[in-house]
Amino acid sequence: MTSIELFNEFPYLVRTNDEAYAGYIEIEANIVEIRSSKTKKHNKTAELITLDTCSAGWNNILTTGFSLKVRFSMKNKTISNEQHEALNKTSIIKEDQSVSKPATQHSKLSSHNAILFLELLNTELYDLGWDNIEYYDPATFECKLRYKDAKQRNFEIVQIVASLGDDPKVKLASMIIKPQCIPLSKLKSGWLCSYFRFQAKMIEKYQPALDILQEINEQCYVLKAYSAFEQTDTKTLESGDQSKDVTQYEVNDQYFRVNVALGDLVSIEFNIDTETPSNPPSTIQLHGPAEKIKNASKRSTDLIENLQIMLGTRIKRYSSCNTTGKRKFAGNDDTLDSSDIKITCGVCFGYEMEGNEFPSELCDNPKCKQPFHHSCLLKWLQSSNTKQNFRMVFGKCPYCQHLATMPQLLTIATCSLNQWSLDFTGNYTRIKDSILQAKAQNAHFRLGSELEIPQVGYSCQDHFFEADTITHSWQVLAKLLSDPDLYGIVIITGMPVMHRNCRYNCAVVLYNGQIVLIRPKMWMASDGNYRELRWFTPYINNYNTTFLILPQIIQSIKGQTTAVFGHALLESSDGTLLGLEICEEFNQNGCDGDRLYFDGSSMVFSNGELLATTPQFSLQEVNLAFATVDLDSVKSYRASIASLSSQSSFANSLPKVSINISIYHDIEPLCVYPTCSIVPQYLTPEQEIAYGPACWLWDYLRRSNQGGFFLALSGGVDSCSVAMITFSMCDIVCAAVRNNNSRVITDLNAILGYDPENTDLPTDPKKLSNLIIHTCYMATENSSSETQLRAQKLAAEINSYHISLDFSAVVASILSVFAIVTNRTPQYTLNGGSNPENLALQNIQARLRMVLAYLFAALILWVRGRSRSLLVLGSSNVDECLRGYFTKYDCSSADLNPIGSISKQDLYQFIKHMQQFYYLDLLEQFLVAVPSAELIPTTNESSVQSDEVEMGMSYKELQVFGSLRKVYNCGPLSMFQQLVILWKSLHHSEIAAKVKRFFFFYSINRHKMTTLTPAYHAEAYSPDDNRFDHRPFLYNSTFKWQFDQIDNLVALQTSKKKKD
């Protein structure tokens, strides 16, 4: 697609109609967030923005230009009518106008300049690096960049590239500096990088002044530091019956203006010269209500004395500026009447903060009742008071000196680790890393998942019976206890423990080299994939604790001989009680060494609201989520629920175990705030298919010491889905390489046979695909040119190492052996052969494909001059497995099957998603193609072999059958009764025939499940008999009793209709 076509087809963020406006795009952690606005009277989502067009356009730029894989989310914000009127006067492109000729009040862009800008922007943003980019808004041609100075202070550089609307400005944090305007027509290569370097030099120029600002901020509560500016013009915007004055300012970058809180609704303001920042300010002004300013002279004198100490000079002149009844806001000329002062925050003097926080905290002195923003009051109470003499006593209201309660804050770190069954060395390393990360964030508690020391989940399975598993777990625990670097934080980990000849699944609480509590699990997970009762005993002695004699390896560390064992609460030195529970949901992240993939998402909740979560899918081996919880709010929330309080009063008290730790944050060295709630982000089923099996394949590949994958492409949806999942894996791995994920880089070097220190790794998924994914089209005389062409095109799109071969001669050789021995030659049904002959001829082709697949998987890397072998991927879906519509030991027999537990219908939706995500129009051909095994010959008179015709049922019907059989536990009779309700359009006899047909083929093919390739577990109706769907594999396929009951119901219903 050319630049002109791209620009015309994808207008990005524009005004879609007269009432709906688009905002800007944020890119962070491969998530593109589109913010838009709407007026209060227009609230239809469809009127906001054509999200598909917008996201498709941006996706195309990001994937083709920068090889970024992103996902989109939409956020809407209602705006006032006044804001709507103001927006009408801004330069936003209308939908009904040509994109190349936007209507603005101030200037027009030519089509040539707009296209030039897009072309340059792709290169400029890529060269500058996404780490330095905050966002780019193509509607206003505004780009916000990040910069961090030598002292790690963060700044924002905003560049408006075209003269659209007001003059562009560059904002450095809260400081505003007027730059040169850069018209689109004069852009040259490197313009953005050069501008970034120029503004970075300007920031460094202000280092002395910034140092002074930082020092003042450390000693005082600086409300705002901003550049001084002078009024140049005032305009009036009319909005219905109302009007509003809008003032324009000319920026003066010679000095910064600093506004500092003084108390009693009074602030003090002075200037810092950027050229000579150490010189004293010539004038200091007081701002606030007139009656408050009269009593502020003593405190302002104290502040001046402090400033003299900090600046190392004397302040010679001082003057006061009263604001009788009105108060000036920093940075503009807006004023509030004195009647409004009572609702403003007593610290920052504002009514509403960023994030829509309003003053909600009140001083509990009935004579004061001063309102505060929660965050402002917290910061005030936590600020240092060593060099201030503002008549402010630490821990008291800054106005009435009444005692203010300090919020009780607790920081928790929960983690998702990519553990591996019986990998005690790696498991210990990951646990230790997570503890160190939690300590670095000043967390009080580090919460790990159950059984994280020996494994992930319950994947050790019968290894739990071995004494070695418990012994090695104690050895790992001893290393954690003996490491002083891990002291100062409460560690909660998990391991099996033997107590009184019973094996328990336990959470072990550690603190400063001591075992505080061993908490056994009470409720076992014994459904679905889990058989916990097979290995562990539930602890039912709820209200009693005992002592466990610790192994000698633990006793030798600090002389601790016993530990409390049982269901108990932890009680800190400041009286806070904490309880523990162990559930199957608290699992880890990654492949469990079997068919499961644990999808992370460890979470922190408070009062029913989500505060933090780890990623659902990630190649990071250690992921942590941190949250600071206000325990006072938790107590208040619980106390407000009457039923909970009543139940609590009747409940028996649990035993308490003391732990010598104060869980609240020390105030002076930290500035800690409660974590705000977040909105959970949910992936679609199609996205989960793209990420989950892909991460599962990566874990299996790197841990199996193999060199890649081998996949037989048939030209159908199933093998296409596996190919796209594997390509998605390459995309995820490349993103991790670009982010310098050291673990991924090490593993990828090993897989590709490179030196461990090599850093020259592919960051383009197509380049990596050619090194890892090996595809092959295996044709016979029954294969069509259409499927072969689709397979070749797909391989070219994902750039896999592809080969095509025809093994008809191999099939003929096998048949010649049979003919020599038996003197008989089997024929297809089309040529007059019997059904056994027809099946045998099909199965020969299918099974030879498996033999050839393993041959090429073993040697193809040798042909390419590399060591190792390839993992063979299968491509049979869950519906075919359930029906038994595959050949035993054919291409369904492989090392791994990413789609073995995914339905055909979900795979169709997945392919549609990947078609849009990667802009692969080719995938449409797979969606419309008739599913066919192509194992029998066709003629002009005979139709193409169809899977659904041969199965006698559709894939949609198979999905319903599978769900009723497994999820709803229906046998033949109850399934028939359910389908009579679901399929009202079908006659009962027709439904009965379908149910009988399904159970007949299910029963005669159940034996195939015993050889099923290990598959990624996804569907709830998976027929995998390894540990999820336990059934016999030899049935009486007539189901005579059951089918007779169905026939009786059909006959009864038929007779009723005849009577009616």
Residue that is written with structure tokens 């977040």 in the block: 678
Q: Give the C-alpha distances (Å, rounded to integers) separating 582 from 186, 561, 562, 988.
A: 64, 25, 22, 48
Say if strands 577-578 and 222-239 run parallel, antiparallel, or are unpaired: unpaired
> Buried (b) or exposed (e) across 876-914, using 16+ Cβ within 10 A?
bbbbbbbbbbbbbebbbbbbbbbbbbbbbebbbebbebb
DSSP codes joined into one string, 480-534:
HHT-GGG-SSEEEEEEEEEETTEEEEEEEEEETTEEEEEEE--S---STT--GGG
Q: Which amino acid is at 14?
A: V
CB 685 within 8 A of CB 847: no
Two tokens, residue 531: 């058989």
The Cα 1019–Cα 882 span in angstroms is 12
The span from the CA of 737 to the CA of 1011, in Å, is 37
Closest among 247, 232, 222 to 334, alpha carbons compared: 247
Helices (H), 919-1039: 923-928, 947-951, 955-962, 972-982, 988-1004
Dist CA 35 CA 52 (whole Å):
14
CA distance 856 to 710: 8
Active-site amino acid positions: 450, 521, 583, 714
Query: 236 CB contacts (<8 Å, ≥6 apart)?
Result: 243, 244, 245, 246
Which candidate, 644, 642, 572, 633, places its Cα nearest to that of 606? 633
> Please, which residues have CB within 8 angstroms of residue 579's CB and are 6 or more apart in sequence?
569, 570, 654
536: tokens are 């562990």
Residue 639: is it exposed, middle or buried by C-beta count within 10 angstroms (0-12/13-18/19+)?
exposed
SS3 letters for 201-262? Answer: HHHHHCHHHHHHHHHHHHHCCEEEEEEEEEEEEEEEEEECCEEEEEEEEEEEEEEEEEEEEE
Q: What is the 3-state secondary structure (H, E, C) of 120-146?
A: HHHHHHHHHCHHHEEEEECCCCEEEEE
Task: Report whether 712 contacts 853 (CB < 8 A).
Answer: yes
> Treating both helix axes as pointing N-terminal to C-terminal, what angle do 904-918 and 717-738 enclose, rounded to 10 degrees?
50
Amino acid at 342: K
With residues binned 3-state (H G I as helix, E B as strand, rest as coil), the percentages for the chain, rounded to 5, are: 40, 20, 40
Distance from chain centroid for Cα 608: 20
**Token pair of 207, please?**
């280092």
- The burial of 528, by beta-carbon neighbours within 10 Å (0-12 exposed, 13-18 middle, 19 or more buried), is given as middle
Which 8-state DSSP code applies to residue 617?
A: S
**Three-state DSSP class for 171?**
strand
Token pair recorded at residue 619: 């190649």
- Residues in the chain, overall count: 1060
Residue 696's CB is within 10 A of a number of other CB atoms, namely: 27
Angle at 1018 between CA 538 and CA 505, to 5 degrees: 15
> What is the SS3 assignment for 94?
coil
- Number of helices (H) and strands (E), helices first, in the chain? 30, 35
